[in-house]
Structure 1
Amino acid sequence: MRWGIRRSHRLGIALSGGGARGFAHIRVLRVLVEAGWKPEIVTGTSAGGIVGGLFAAGLAPERIEALARRIGWRLFMRLDPNGNALVGTDRWARFLREAVGDVRIEDLPVRFAAVAVDLDTGEEIWIDRGPLVEAMLATSAFPGVFPPVWWEGRRLVDGGVLNPLPVDVARALGATFVIGVDLSWVEPGRTDRRFPEELPGPLLVRWLTRRARWSRTLEGVFRSVGIMARWITESRLAQAPPDWLIRVPTGDIPVFALDLAPEIMERGERAARAALAGLEQAMARPRWLRRFLPQAA
């Protein structure tokens, strides 16, 4: 391993959104860290902002995976008491606070920013200061499903609306070599799994059976958003490509398929291991050359 080359760069990683697909980020980080690639800068959108925030707070990937295995539908089975969305996030917020406490982003051991969108102005917001838990809630506040989060007088929602894979944010924070992790890719021959597979467990099934109209509506919403996110991701990658792109083939998995966490993490691990050799070679190239050579694994 050419440690001199690595030391000459400030390594950043940009983690994309994707709901439950975000479980893949945990194993990607684990593989990279075990191979000696520990990011100094982490940016994330939605699920990527949650996993990235936990990592930036100093939690080892193994610890994040242990937390992920405790995530279940009971954390999201309460209606929003204020009527601003379908699901309340009080239990989810408590779960995150138990993991990281009341730490502020500016006090984290790893530089971090989460991407959100101002619901009223449509502006892209980079949250790089303030309470970490609030940032993680804001970047993952899927419009209509989870309530907006107030931050410095703004109502913020999921950053995937504008920037699903925040490579540009990592560069702005000072990264000289950026790894992008995209969860929207679908392997050729695979088709999207249908929405009912997103509803594991009798409790949730009963809850949504009484709201069958919601179930049908959400299926259309999530499929449409998934298509939109793929196109936005490709557009943003063309404008601001990473130095190395890891594509995890999870685009066929429903965004709320929490029951598929083991499979999702396994896909993330396979993609990361396949990327290691090319990653070493890419870092050895001058940046101007990286723009003209294949960047994806």
Structure 2
Amino acid sequence: MVSAPSLRRSQKVFQAARSDSEAASGPRSSMCRPCQPSIAAALLASTGRSWRGAGRYLLAMARFRLLDRWRRPAEVERDHTVFVFSGGSVRGAAQAGMLRVLLENGILPDEIVGVSAGALNGVYLAHDPTIQQVGRLEDLWRDVAEKAPIRGNLVRNVASILRGRSSFDSGDRLRALIAEHVPMEDLAEVSVPCHVGTTDAATGQVTWWTSGPVVDLLCASTAVPGVLPVVELADGSRHIDGGVVCNIPLRKAVSLAPTRLVVLDVAAKFAPAGKQTALSLMMVGVRAAAAELIRQQWLDVPTDLDVLHVELPTVDDAPDFEFGLVPELLEAGMEAAEAALAEWSARG
């Protein structure tokens, strides 16, 4: 029978030996076999017992260690849902409708990625991922419909370009609208981690931001080339629309190790030109290139990843800056989300 004082002395020696072992090999490392004889010798010296007695002490301590491990809760892989907000100009209004349906069904983001109009929606949700905030986002888009932050007069726009201006809109009204509605100053202040994508005008590479002046970042991410001016950020770099390079930023989303992707896709779809004019053919080229870039992004999504793809169907007569269509787009977004959820649930 081992006396209580002897057992306490043995435990102290064991703890000291284990601390020395962990200091050499790192915390929570298993004790190596070469260490065991020296610990047994220490136990022998402290208790005055035989080698057999020291071995019994070691066995008892090993049992304590196994019991401690057994009591620790097992680490379970947590779900990590990433919301992906595509660009899409005025079609971004549909994402507000999509969000209403998603949140009503209990689907919430753990992380957010967005570009262009999707960056605006993503930042707004990241600040407060609630139904009430979605309602405020819908109000923002209704305000967009009333104030038309980008001029739509074709003759004036063409004249601006012919006069050598870099864009046919100053961006002042859009900046004022964003500053009025976005409820934070720095992107780092959001409740849910949010990544805003912009395109570096000097390199053509996408840049991702998780902090910085939020109004500047959103103005940069929505700066459609030729339509809105390049935005100079705090570090002196100049940036344009993040959707130029990745209008559905799936590659960035996959890099965040998600267990589920929720893709709010309002990107313009490729369509052949109806009337063969110089402008329509030029837009065909732009849309074809954008469609190929999006296809490449989808190739980076693992086939076994859970994906809820909410896609806005083609809306007739929906130019990029037809702001009067906002009410229709809000409704279309809700319908698209309901259809996508039904299909997703059926897949199990």
Q: Which TM-score applies when normalising by structure 1?
A: 0.75
CA RMSD of aligned residues (A): 3.0
Amino acid aligned to 1:64: L
Return the match for 1:61 from 129, 134, 138: 134
Partner of 1:294: none
Structure 2, unpaired ranges of 5+: 1-76
Partner of 2:143: 70
Larger radius of gyration: 2
How far 1:107 sits from its partner (Å)? 1.3
After the TM superposition, which residues 147-296 of structure 1 pair with which residues of structure 2 at under 5 Å, given as runs?
Answer: 147-151=229-233, 152-184=235-267, 222-240=283-301, 243-250=307-314, 253-280=318-345
Partner of 1:206: none
Alpha-carbon contact 1:184-1:229 (below 8 Å) kept = no
Name the SS of the counterpart of 1:114 in structure 2: strand
Distance 1:74 1:261, change over 3 A: closer
The number of equivalent residue pairs is 253
Distance 1:228 1:264, change over 3 A: farther
Partner of 1:287: none
Alpha-carbon contact 2:148-2:323 (below 8 Å) kept = no
Partner of 1:114: 196
Inter-partner Cα distance in structure 1 for 2:279 and 2:327 = 24
Inter-partner Cα distance in structure 2 for 1:181 and 1:102 = 23
- Between stretches 231-240 and 156-165, larger displacement belongs to 231-240
Q: What whole-Å deviation, never above 9, does each CA across 1:167-208 have from its counterpart, x for those lacking one?
A: 222233453311112223659xx98899xxxxxxxxxxxxxx
Name the SS of the counterpart of 2:144 in structure 1: coil
Name the SS of the counterpart of 2:197 in structure 1: strand
Partner of 1:22: 92
Partner of 2:113: 43
Distance 1:102 1:270, change over 3 A: closer
Distance 1:99 1:108, change over 3 A: same
Name the SS of the counterpart of 2:253 in structure 1: helix
Inter-partner Cα distance in structure 1 for 2:282 and 2:294 = 18
How far 1:116 sits from its partner (Å)? 1.2
- Between stretches 7-16 and 88-97, larger displacement belongs to 7-16
Inter-partner Cα distance in structure 2 for 1:22 and 1:192 = 23
Distance 1:48 1:184, change over 3 A: same
Structure with greater helix share of residues? 2
Name the SS of the counterpart of 2:109 in structure 1: coil
Percent identity of equivalent pairs? 29
Distance 1:249 1:193, change over 3 A: farther
Q: What whole-Å deviation, never above 9, does each CA across 1:141-187 have from its counterpart, x for those lacking one?
A: 11111011112221111111111111222233453311112223659
How far 1:34 sits from its partner (Å)? 0.6
Inter-partner Cα distance in structure 2 for 1:119 and 1:28 = 31
Name the SS of the counterpart of 2:108 in structure 1: coil
Partner of 2:102: 32
Amino acid aligned to 1:113: H
How far 1:217 sits from its partner (Å)? 7.8
Q: Quick one: higher RCO (CA 8 Å, sep 6+), 1 or 2? A: 1
Amino acid aligned to 1:36: G
Return the match for 2:217 from 88, 111, 135: 135
How far 1:27 sits from its partner (Å)? 0.8
Distance 1:115 1:32, change over 3 A: same
Distance 1:218 1:146, change over 3 A: farther
How far 1:102 sits from its partner (Å)? 4.4
Q: What whole-Å deviation, never above 9, does each CA across 1:95-127 have from its counterpart, x for those lacking one?
A: 111112442111111111111111111111112
Partner of 1:207: none
Distance 1:264 1:45, change over 3 A: same
Alpha-carbon contact 2:150-2:321 (below 8 Å) kept = no
Inter-partner Cα distance in structure 2 for 1:56 and 1:85 = 30
Amino acid aligned to 2:258: A
Q: Which TM-score applies when normalising by structure 2?
A: 0.65
Alpha-carbon contact 1:185-1:251 (below 8 Å) kept = no
Q: What whole-Å deviation, never above 9, does each CA across 1:226-255 have from its counterpart, x for those lacking one?
A: 333222212211223672322211365321
Inter-partner Cα distance in structure 1 for 2:209 and 2:242 = 10
How far 1:76 sits from its partner (Å)? 2.6
